[in-house]
Structure 1
């Protein structure tokens, strides 16, 4: 185009509305990416309600920004994550239409073949390598799923692959449409098509089997020979292709990638901002959330998961501990971790090797695995410093480890107190010389019975009152007298008099009163205690006649039976931990000192005098031989065997067996780990009742105590050492309680029904069953109780609302509508629908009334009820509108928040109670569940365990 003429060079056709400027964008609410060589549209980005006006490209990154009516968006034109697969030391990856092989040990990178191109140059999405047949599956995805496909290539052998020359012709492949392709056997692979159906194909790309999977599955992943991982919007499931059934399911929403360890026993599920680690039984080991996007990950040889985010390389242990290893300038994709080297690909993609320091996560791993020799070696190496490590050791219960490398005296003091090391705390307190530290040390030393240290602390803080009382309770009267003299010198009359009372020294009390000028009190004290000389000397200076009470009794402090002196109170013997004996050979030095003072044992015996009576040994030996003969008649009674209940808690992982065994602490720990119980007060009565069933008592011989027996539930099949206790709480008894609660619901005794349902719910985790069918019944029991409790509690809340306020009327109608979606028995469902129909019709919400009425008729009510509902329907159809707008959509599935009683529609974020499964809004996470009243909302738990089958 010039000032005088213009001509058309080319035309790109596709927009259907005005194009205001090619530099910006047209007004048809879309952005189109054009291939200028072929004049075709490659991509379309569309918004339904906004027009795009401006667009800009990032100067260095593959990012574009576009502004529209309501804001802006940032997007990419093509995927930047490289497609790669690792086999041993060989890394296969795709770069610029070539399949390349990198030998990680030799750092040798060669292009082994050229790949076929797709129509629009879309980069490969994934790569799967089969070492048995030396084949690869290259999957290519498009925004239009109809154009997604996969290619099956035969990889050339190493001797035929070009090491110095680049292949110039595309390799032959077997191509077919498919969304995902993964290997499932040596010569079989699974393909998911655009209709989300899975087929098994052979190396000739021929279908050998069709596999029926759930309809909501939208992705498949490799899970070993004959196995697949299936992804649906909310869960990940392990699927056995031969048995055609799901082996296990875990709740993992929107998983993107799966990374298995070397032996396929543990997998890391990478989501957009979350990582969940599961074992092969689909049991959750841990999960954690990242603020930035998770990019990739690989397992270290030691079993630590190393992963990358947008700007960090991090680590994760299977117990949930995470940390940062190093920062990144640009995102990378980890392919392998070996020692201190991290092999990765960048977005070019080009291979890179990064060096990391694994000391921190190996230290934590050694602690978890109780490899204390490695921990001590790292501590002595002083490679770990910083408050984060100290805080970690304190949190995990290893303050004694932190003591080995902490130099700061205040931190050392606090750690010593935490692990009960009074000696180290005393050294640190001397260095700090702070009053608060002395007081805290005195408090802890007193709890340990180390009263010499308590005495020293009180002396440092000059707390003479407490010091006097310490001498009193330890029976150290000599030091108490000395303390009284000190108070006399300090003219502390109150302390002086108190110590005199502690000692029972009446004459000293008379001296104190005389020094204070309290002559009458001094005279009275002397006369009461019969101190005649003091009475005569004081009577002359006192004008008032002092009368002694005729019934006066002597108040004298008790005489100490035993005084420990300067030695601490005796404490229970505690085995030294690994770290208690590691720093120095203090034990050896004490032994050496003792030997140096007293000499060797042989020397002492050899130089013993006649006064020890050694000449009587022969007589004693002869008498013993005459009495015992050859010694064969000597009887040693066997040690008393532990009761059977002691082994119950060791053989079983079920909470009820620990309760019956009397191990309430371990039972509470299991309930906390399995179903998140944090409030154990409601379980007190259940624990005590179950424990009372653990044994029976019957009379024995006359004059002897009763004998105890321990009934076993598996006494027929198991040996005595493998027996487990008989149960007082059974699935049948819980079913009977459930029926009683259902009857109370029918007669509208809602308060009593809530108590019964909650009682059944609390009993469910304390069940023990033998078959998988009974496990399912126990889980259904919990689900039924949850549905009834949420609905009934909501109904009780609804009945407290007023009937005059428009807000209360609207809220009442909403809650009645929500109650109709509780999964109740048909008879109770009819009752909820009748309530909702009547209320909606009364409030002129005829459309809602029609909906409730039709649902009620489908349940087959009694004839008179059906006739009434039909009349309501006829009246409502004349004007099918709602007078009151409510927050209720019957066509969109939802759960009811058990705290606020509002709907949580499918796809919206929610948290659940790990025990009853009640749904809550995310803002209630961490609070106590209102339904079961014992579990923490949103706590990550392994789930209810009521059978040993669930641990296999």
Structure 2
């Protein structure tokens, strides 16, 4: 089995006796031998919270996420419960008269089960003040592990150093049955998660890992490999794997179908004690003497394929399911809404699927995995052919295919019979994968070579690290996907065939004129499909986009990872699948793609003919596309959104159309539109239109600028009145001053309670208003309890020089007060 193992988290600490994953947060709960409990963030590699629980070893910890709690059992006989959000201790009590080594939390009921060195198992109910509701007795040594049956949560199993595994029911006094599981003490027991096998896996001090059928109570397989006591073994929840860890410091990964050892991991942290797995992602956590590690096994992407007619085939473990999306009622489809399951079981496959591919004509389906491939008929799911392969590729004609064997050798078949493979391919060495399509793609580290399927001749050698290759249906375009970017190339078969006919010697690099780079996509692509000459893809950042020509156009953004199934033209919809095998769809009119393609090829007549077929709700997308292409006149004629049309009209200087559109606007930003149109009109020296727009925008500052610049006395008078009504006193004062109306200026200042400024202004420009100003000023000061200051205003003996001027020796009665 091709198995990628990626370390996600690594932390050195005291001995880790127990670990558990939070189901929704990226948290790992660790119980330490020094008495602490720590919650780590596996994404940042940092601790989230630490709890000093006790000064003796904490041997078992578990999350209770529905209560925001965790429980911990320790060597001081205490069972403790904490709220991990508030750090409050919920409960603490002596659960056993000896060490607590094992505990399990019921998935739905308010139950916690504990196992102890006192050889008993106890059931606690937290909704009844942690009352002990049942005691299970029968073991004759330390209880090492307890686990609920995921298929029947009314039963659980226990592993004990008395060499047995017992299966219990919650309400029963005695065990349902007992397995004499190992020749020495049993350290761990775990249930198989699938519905197809009634299996448990056990480990013991006899260094063995064993798989049992608990219905027949018979041994299925015994696996040897560890050199010391085996601490744990689990069935992986989604992959056909068993993961075991032992006191020899190693973690071993076994194939749960063949029971063959696939891989041995050693992180140098001494003895392995504890394990946990995440049900939502492929993460496994292991606790060691010197810390904890979280690693990811395999890929989380679903394994699926959809043919051109909308028939989907996907796998759930080794079970194969099919669905026909073509039969869905288009009226019932809503963008982003989960489509009710249409799946029917087709059968099983003998290998664990790591890739599924339809042949181009949809008649066959290839399942590749475990170093093998099997070709099935799509309708009846019958085995048609099989062989060794780590990578498989169909040619465009569905009669020819190529495989890369585990040895690295390339083999090509036509009509299910082997034919000569390109010699140059097997001479290069280091082939990592093969890709199908119009040409055979043969990839290695940092390069890909395209060869002709029939002749085997090299067409072009390209230095790029290719993770995916996807050909357009007519074979004119190819997308080469690398980890961080993608390249769209146009394949000129006619030019290549002509060069071959002329006897050209291409050498090791192939024909330089066979391919032309159309565009480079600076995006990390997870899955992609072609719609004609348009590439649709989902990025690793969960964006749904399509590429025409040189530019990527966004269509949607997902909350989580989605994988592109394909496009059904009769429904005008794109289909995607998530890792839980839920299917959703999104609208994309094929006519829209055809229109944009015609525009890019500058065939405007064809584009005009296609335009009526584009749905009305897609017209604005077309308008934005045309605007980006610099065709703003055309964009304005296509757009249906008034706001977009207004912006285009202003940008194009079409003031009459802009005026009409702004007049129709009832949106909250209509004033902004009038202001924008006024600025554009002023730029075009259309003074009358700019004044009209600024009035509708209530932009009095702009009106002041226009009237003062143009010397419009009538407009200035109107502006002063508008400003007074609007309470914009500064603008009103400036307008009145420009009109030469000092009395009105003083009145404006008085209305604004600017008494000192009013008095000073009146002393210079409107002396008959001085008494009124000083009286108002005095009155305001009296109200503020500044009587002394108020009395000094207007007293010439106290302020003899105030308001003197060159034309009079008299003194005015206004004073500047601090």
Q: TM over 0.5: same fold?
A: no
Q: TM-score, normalised by structure 1?
A: 0.38
Q: TM-score, normalised by structure 2?
A: 0.43
Give the structure with the higher percent strand. Answer: 2
Give the structure with the higher percent helix. Answer: 1
- Structure number with higher relative contact order (C-alpha < 8 Å, ≥ 6 residues apart): 2
